Structure 1
Amino acid sequence: MISGQIVRPGAVVPGHLTVDGPTILEITEDDRAGDDIIVPGFVDIHCHGGGGHTFTTGDAEQTRKAAAFHLAHGTTTMLASLVSSPFDLMREAVAAYLPLARAGVIAGVHFEGPYLSGARCGAQNPEFLRDPSIEELSALVKLGEGTVRMVTVAPELPGALEAITFLRDLGVVVAVGHTDASYTEAQAGVAAGATVGTHLFNGMRPPHHREPGPVIGLLSSPAVCELIADNIHLHPGMLAFTAKTAGPDRTALITDAMDATGMPDGTYDLGGQEVTVADRVARLARNGSIAGSTLTMDAALRNAVAAGISLPDAVTMASTTPARVLGLADEVGALTAGRRADLVVLDVEFRVKRVMRGGRWVDSTTR
């Protein structure tokens, strides 16, 4: 039995949570429960690595270690996100990560690129950018047998709308991102089947009152908008404004973390490009562009609450909404009887005390 302030959809309930094997059995209210805060395990749909390990090279052992690092910070479900890469590396990564997805180490692969805008590529390697290829996508999805879970596409590129619909029909989540699209082009991407906006504001044409661009196009659509809550990619005021505008059911906290997360300042690599990390900020050495983050999901939750977002809403953004994006809402993302016993015990300052995944407590030595 786990006791404390239990964060359930839309409310904080003092009481006890009982686990039966890997499953939540029941939740019982009790005003005498302690001060610990119990939240569902975090679901990160956009992460490139952490703890000195990367998802971006197709290395299975690196991926195991990066996933373990984030698990110790409360992320019980995550996608392994790659950056723009040659097709051979994409194919090798899918083959290497298929067993990890089947074992539950990761929930699947997210390809952030290479089908992105050169004008808004950010820290993506421009050498590898190209127009969407249904031939490539078909081969990757077939090879992955369900491992390819999400692909980010710039909808204004030639062939993009056809690729988005193709992926949607195969059950792959499509995100609009790293895009110079107009308002109309962004909405066309959603109409074609995209359901996510990749790190809203970042890697996108900025809004303008005469051409709203992709930011407003996505906010005005049914798409779920990713938000990097590190207070670097987004000002806390913008984080709170977006969460209020779209609502917690249409915003998802992500880390966009790279291998430097949890590591000392220094020089790192992202997609074959040198990245310098100083005081938590990662930037490309060649032009100073922000290059991913050094964020963990527990820190993202703290930042969201500090920005004025209520705890139940912040938890929805960190767990419930991203679980729904992946089609896993019946399994994870909320503390409800019958769902998997994935949970995080936080102290009153929202710092991780313990993590449970599938009914088992996780070793915290990597935190």
Structure 2
Amino acid sequence: MTQHRVLQGRILTESGWMDGELKLAADGRIESIDARLASGRAVERYLLPGFIDLHVHGGGGVDIMEGGRAAERVARLHARFGTTSLLATTMTAPPIDIEQVLRALGSSCRERQPGGARILGVHLEGPYINPGKLGAQPDDACRAVMEQVDWYRSLAPVSLITLAPEIAGHMDIIRQLAEQGVKVQLGHTLGSYEDGVQALEQGASGFTHLFNAMSGLHHREPGMVGAALAHAEYAELIPDLLHVHPGAIRAALRSIPRLYCVTDSTAAAGMPDGEYKLGSHSVTKCMGGVRLADGTLAGSTLTMDQALRNLVSIGLPLADASHRLSLYPADYLGLADRGRLAAGAWADIVAMDADLNLQQVYVEGEQIGLVDA
């Protein structure tokens, strides 16, 4: 690795924008950030923190549930679109299948492979969900018991678990997981507003793909969406502009201080239209989306660079959009050295032109090859 490489541009620092230069150290971290550009000089590119995606099922034709080296292939695909770290996300499945995948992910999480994003850990999305609100999840939902959760956690670093709080025994599971430092999100749920509030009181910390696969907002029955809008500090949302209308995104932005964005991407991300796998399901990519045979949205084809452009297109300032793709997910997981450009932080960086097209991506100081134009 070349020592003391320097990047120049308009840098989004922790204290705001700075026209200057960023120096990369030999150990993959940021050595320094300085205001070195002459005043009034035209800035040709933005330097932003690398994107952090906490909900990734696949990409490049590969699904996380395939096991083996699938997660590393997914991490390479998303790195080419600016994602510098991610949570590999599982699907609802029989226990033997989940065990197999988690064993493989345990290996993939230990060491980052060259050319790929850092796999921070696992987002266990199911099987602890409501069978009446599967969305695109396979029909293998079950009630959580702590012995099984502990076994899964022994196989791989499970950072985040999605569950339905209204299922018998789940409030106690939420409390125990929160006490152990595991993030719990509410999702794939038919729970009421009251269920959501109680789950937050027990230690739940967020909501999975807000608005999707959860009881909706009605003025006399606020539902799980109402609990999120009224009480959440954090929630994830898919900004592909298919899963959630821009008006609903704006409502969430006004209500949830640290709303952060995810792709919920599938194997179809970065691939042409056609048939792909999502867990045990077959899904079809067409017209910019991914659907089951009955038309149900089944994850997305979104990449994080497009998520940034989408947020800006509906009126978010660039710095705010960047925070929702980098800073807030990092803070949610308690990662003080990612999601921000600062001396000592990992050199996870995206360089973008004035139209927010990717020019360069660095993961822990390694420059990543981009997708051919």
TM-score range, shorter chain: over 0.9
Which residues in structure 2 correspond to 1:1-367 (within 5 Å)? 1-9=6-14, 11-21=16-26, 22-29=28-35, 30=37, 31=39, 32=41, 34-57=43-66, 59-104=67-112, 105-126=118-139, 128-144=140-156, 147-247=157-257, 250-285=258-293, 287-328=294-335, 330-365=336-371
Q: Note the C-alpha offset of 1:60.
A: 3.0
Query: Is residue 122–residue 203 contact of structure 1 (8 Å, CA) maintained in 2?
Result: yes
Q: Note the C-alpha offset of 1:33.
A: 6.1
Query: Is residue 232–residue 256 contact of structure 2 (8 Å, CA) maintained in 1?
Result: no
Deviations 1:310-354 (CA, angstroms, capped at 9, x unpaired): 1111111000000111221x1100011110111000111111111
| Secondary structure, aligned partner of 1:107 | strand
| Structure 1 unaligned regions, length at least 5 | none
* CA–CA distance in structure 2, aligned partners of residues 272 and 360 of structure 1: 35
* CA–CA distance in structure 1, aligned partners of residues 14 and 214 of structure 2: 31
Deviations 1:134-172 (CA, angstroms, capped at 9, x unpaired): 12101111232xx11111000000111111122222221
Distance 1:322 1:230, change over 3 A: same
Q: Note the C-alpha offset of 1:364.
A: 2.1
Deviations 1:67-113 (CA, angstroms, capped at 9, x unpaired): 10001111111000011011112111221111211113411111110
Deviations 1:263-304 (CA, angstroms, capped at 9, x unpaired): 11111221212212111111111x211000000000001000
Query: Is residue 341–residue 358 contact of structure 1 (8 Å, CA) maintained in 2?
Result: yes
| Secondary structure, aligned partner of 2:261 | strand
Query: Is residue 83–residue 114 contact of structure 1 (8 Å, CA) maintained in 2?
Result: yes
Query: Is residue 3–residue 33 contact of structure 1 (8 Å, CA) maintained in 2?
Result: no
The Cα RMSD (Å) is 1.5
| Secondary structure, aligned partner of 2:86 | strand
Query: Is residue 63–residue 279 contact of structure 2 (8 Å, CA) maintained in 1?
Result: no
* CA–CA distance in structure 1, aligned partners of residues 228 and 24 of structure 2: 39
| Secondary structure, aligned partner of 2:129 | coil
- One-letter amino acid matched to 2:46: I
Query: Is residue 197–residue 223 contact of structure 1 (8 Å, CA) maintained in 2?
Result: no
* CA–CA distance in structure 2, aligned partners of residues 50 and 176 of structure 1: 25
Distance 1:310 1:10, change over 3 A: farther
Distance 1:365 1:207, change over 3 A: closer
Report how many aligned residue pairs link the two structures.
359
* CA–CA distance in structure 2, aligned partners of residues 318 and 274 of structure 1: 29
Query: Is residue 237–residue 307 contact of structure 1 (8 Å, CA) maintained in 2?
Result: no
Q: Which shows bigger deviation, 197-206 or 15-24?
A: 15-24
Query: Is residue 132–residue 159 contact of structure 1 (8 Å, CA) maintained in 2?
Result: yes
Q: Note the C-alpha offset of 1:131.
A: 1.2
* CA–CA distance in structure 2, aligned partners of residues 315 and 10 of structure 1: 14
* CA–CA distance in structure 2, aligned partners of residues 10 and 54 of structure 1: 38
Query: Is residue 182–residue 212 contact of structure 1 (8 Å, CA) maintained in 2?
Result: yes
Normalising by structure 2, what TM-score?
A: 0.93
In the TM superposition, structure 1's runs of 4+ consecutive aligned residues that sit over 6 Å from their partners are: none
